[in-house]
Chain A
Amino acid sequence: MSPLLEAFGGALALIASGDRALLQIVLLSLGVSLAAVVLATLAGLPLGAAVAVARFPGRQAVIVLMNALMGLPPVVVGLVVYLLLSRAGPLGSLGLLFTPPAMVIAQTLLIFPIIAALARQGVEDAWVEYEEQLRSLGAHGIGAALTLVWDIRYSLFTAVLAGMGRALAEVGAVMIVGGNIDGVTRVMTTSIALETSKGDLPLALSLGIVLIALVLALNAAAHMVKEAARRKYG
């Protein structure tokens, strides 16, 4: 039997057995990434909407920066957060390094530009369509931006989902600031890297399968919500 098939069989058996260590890793992954998505959405959606609607000097530069930061390398984000949180760093006294909160911070910084940039694009497209009507009705500024965000809420789902996918899939940032400590900061992607290098391919592959299944399920759910909304609200 080929090693890949062998590993695949082992992976399915491990998933079916409901292995506790596996479950713990999956839950921590989900917890860290969901927390990061919530925080990045709370900050990114309003920022994206504001940049879409507001006109100020340097706006084009801000848009370019936001778009560029979508491709931020996770290891660089991890390194910066590491320097901030390390004993000698400005936030070292908080003692957060190598804890799940540090991983949430790093992932929040990583996906915040993704959500902000995609929200900016979506809100701006809607603004082009609605601007005259909304201004005629007397809506402006934050009120107008909130109206747009609410109106395209199902499209913004995609932005949030892109952030979630990125957070779940990245390994560099959580590896550096989390340290991949067994039972404490070990998540799916860091375990896959570790187990692969140790040669425990079934565990690595089973984690990979769970990861892909999770991302698939998330996207399928979001797609269904969006389609239902499109049929309902046009």
Chain B
Amino acid sequence: MSAILPLRMTDVSFAAGGRTIIDRVSFDLSAGPSTIVLGANGAGKSVLMRLMHGLLAPSAGKVEWLGDNASRARRLQAMVFQRPVMLRRSVLANITYALGLADVPARDLDRLAFEALEEVGLATLATRPARVLSGGEQQRLALARAWALHPEVLFLDEPTASLDPAATREIETIIKAFDASGTKVILVTHSLGQARRLGDEVLFVHEGCVAELTPTDRFFSQPASAEAAAFIKGETPWI
């Protein structure tokens, strides 16, 4: 089966404005387990994700897709941002726009877009202007837009950070559906609860470095790094 994974980061650094934000980071992410990128605010999680996704070019080091289909890496990734960015057109058109950019044939656009809207429960809003939807609905639409692309890898940068608990649950359900459908989920969060609910493994980022990459269970029961232990304790002081 042709794939773009695994993703290999080799000594990747990123500096901006004279400040090193990511400092010589190396790790491999393979197909299968969902990966939670966890860390405190300002640890460099979002920058690390943008380096993986290719939105930022590393100052040093290499970001490589090692699969035999690596030439299509661009097309086979999707990203959902903390604040969804919707175009001033209908809900459906926001998805067909993305499909069009991905070279999906015109005759399939509406069908694929509708399927994706049904997946996230927005099919009844298909003709509404996307920008008048609520925050939670817009984030579901962002997920539907990604769903329609059938990406091999889905990046999510704190997708529920500005949502209420009910909307957060809906978003997490959809993320689980991505995982179940075989998409590799890579999610940035600072919420330990979300990491437990959605993660198979945790990539813990501390001050621009990867402190550890551990299966979720082990990460919470016996973190390998002192930084992770301190973070878990700091976030859950009652333990």
Contact = CB atoms under 8 A, between A and B. Distances in A.
Nearest to A232: B129
Interface in A81-99: none
A136 B55 contact: yes
Given A138-B102, A151-B87, A133 B129 contact: no
Interface in B93-130: 97-98, 101-102, 129-130
Contacts of B89: 151, 233
Contacts of B102: 137-138
B33 to A, nearest CB: 23
Query: Among the interface residues B88, B98, B102, B132, which one has the most CB atoms of the partner chain A within 10 A?
Result: B88
B96 to A, nearest CB: 12
Given A130-B87, A151-B87, A234-B130, 9 more contacts: A129-B85, A130-B85, A132-B50, A132-B55, A137-B101, A138-B102, A139-B101, A234-B88, A234-B129
Chain B interface size range: 20 to 34
Interface string A127-144: 001101101111100010
A133 B50 CA distance: 11
Contacts of A234: 88, 129-132
A150 to B, nearest CB: 8
A24 interface: no
A148 to B, nearest CB: 9
Contact of A137 (B50, B98, B130, B131): B98
30 contacts: A130-B85, A130-B87, A132-B50, A132-B55, A132-B79, A132-B81, A135-B55, A136-B53, A136-B77, A136-B78, A136-B79, A137-B97, A137-B98, A137-B102, A137-B145, A138-B74, A138-B75, A138-B102, A147-B97, A151-B87, A151-B88, A151-B89, A152-B88, A229-B88, A233-B88, A233-B89, A234-B88, A234-B129, A234-B130, A234-B132
Interface of A: 129-130, 132-133, 135-139, 143, 147, 151-152, 229, 232-234
User: Is the contact region of chain A dominated by helix, strand, or loop, or is it mixed?
Assistant: helix
Interface in B49-106: 50, 53, 55, 74-75, 77-79, 81, 85, 87-89, 97-98, 101-102
B61 to A, nearest CB: 21
A226 to B, nearest CB: 12
A137 B50 CA distance: 13
Contacts of A130: 85, 87
Nearest to B138: A234
Contacts of A135: 55
Contact of A233 (B53, B55, B101, B129): B129
Contacts of A138: 74-75, 101-102
A200 to B, nearest CB: 50
A147 B87 contact: yes
User: Is the contact region of chain B dominated by helix, strand, or loop, or is it mixed?
Assistant: mixed
A178 B87 CA distance: 45
A143 to B, nearest CB: 8
Interface string B188-230: 0000000000000000000000000000000000000000000
A135 B78 CA distance: 10
A165 B131 CA distance: 31
Interface string B36-55: 00000000000000100101
A135 B85 CA distance: 12
A59 to B, nearest CB: 19
Query: Among the interface residues A137, A147, A152, which one has the most CB atoms of the partner chain B within 10 A?
Result: A137
A216 B98 CA distance: 40
Contacts of A152: 88
Nearest to B50: A132
Contacts of B101: 137-139, 143
Contacts of B53: 136
B55 to A, nearest CB: 6
Contacts of A143: 101
A-B interface, 8 closest residue pairs, ranked by CB to CB distance from nearest: A234-B131, A133-B85, A233-B88, A136-B79, A138-B101, A234-B132, A233-B129, A137-B98
Contacts of A139: 101
A234 B134 CA distance: 11
A155 B74 CA distance: 32
Query: Among the interface residues A129, A138, A147, A152, which one has the most CB atoms of the partner chain B within 10 A?
Result: A138
